[in-house]
Amino acid sequence: MNNKQAVIHSILKQRMLPLYFHEDADVSVQVARTLYKAGVRVFEYTNRGDAALKNFAALKALQQNEMPGLHLGIGTVKTTEEAKAYINAGADFIVSPVINPEVGKMAHDRDMLWIPGCMTPTEIHVAQQHGAAIIKLFPANILGVEFMLSIKDLFRGQLFIPTGGVELEAENISTWFKAGVCAVGMGSKLITKQILEEHLYDQLYAKTLKALELVQSIYIK
């Protein structure tokens, strides 16, 4: 199994893609340790601050030293310059809030998964033309489940992940899976501002266990 397929397999097995950023490297590392301890084997660190690249390097070292089997991705990548920096830092996959075909090409040339963000059928079509195996529906709280239900027959076989506003609740997650998504993105609803600011890692561990159990039980149904 090549790298791209291994990441896709991990996402489809986990059915949830956690994502987060924090300016403090130690907090970023402790969150990663907590997610891994709870059973997470693929997550996205987001490029949303000046310290992101430095922190990502710390996470990559952690992955190599302590976290066998983990796939570490980078999100909020919009330009080829950002993509190159994180590819050089060892990113296993790239997630974008937009469609930049050149970023997609850089990923494909290195056998990496590229997940672009889309909000319209036209954007989804463009993303498909540039080889997006998985497409992020973003922002999910604006698009809503009805959007997914409306477009899924237009794009049969395409894998989708809603991100932005997915609730850590059985009813909300269930409606997304029933609409046809392959996994759900979990950001601030899982890794909350309070958890990050107050270093509530035991709480994060418990929430992550709950989230993993929830998505598995719902998807099986």
In a domain? residue 62: yes
Name the amino acid, one letter, at 62: L
Q: Give pTM, 2 decimals.
A: 0.96
Residue 220 pLDDT exceeds 90: no
Give how many domains the chain has, as a whole number: 1
In a domain? residue 145: yes
Across residues 181-196, what is the average pLDDT?
96
In a domain? residue 221: no
In a domain? residue 131: yes
pLDDT tens column, 136-151: 999 999 999 999 999 9
In a domain? residue 219: no
Q: Residue 99: phi, psi to the nearest 5?
A: -100, 110
Q: Which helix (H) or strand (E) holds 146?
A: helix 140-151
Q: For tokens 């950002």, name the residue.
A: 82
CATH number of the domain bearing residue 29 = 3.20.20.70
In a domain? residue 218: no
DSSP letter string over 92-104? SEEE-SS--HHHH
Residue 82 sits in which domain range? 3-208
Q: Residue 75: phi, psi to the nearest 5?
A: -115, 175
For residue 117, list its beta bridge partners. 136
In a domain? residue 85: yes
Across residues 67-91, what is the average pLDDT?
98
194 token code pair: 């309070």
pLDDT tens column, 207-218: 999 999 999 998
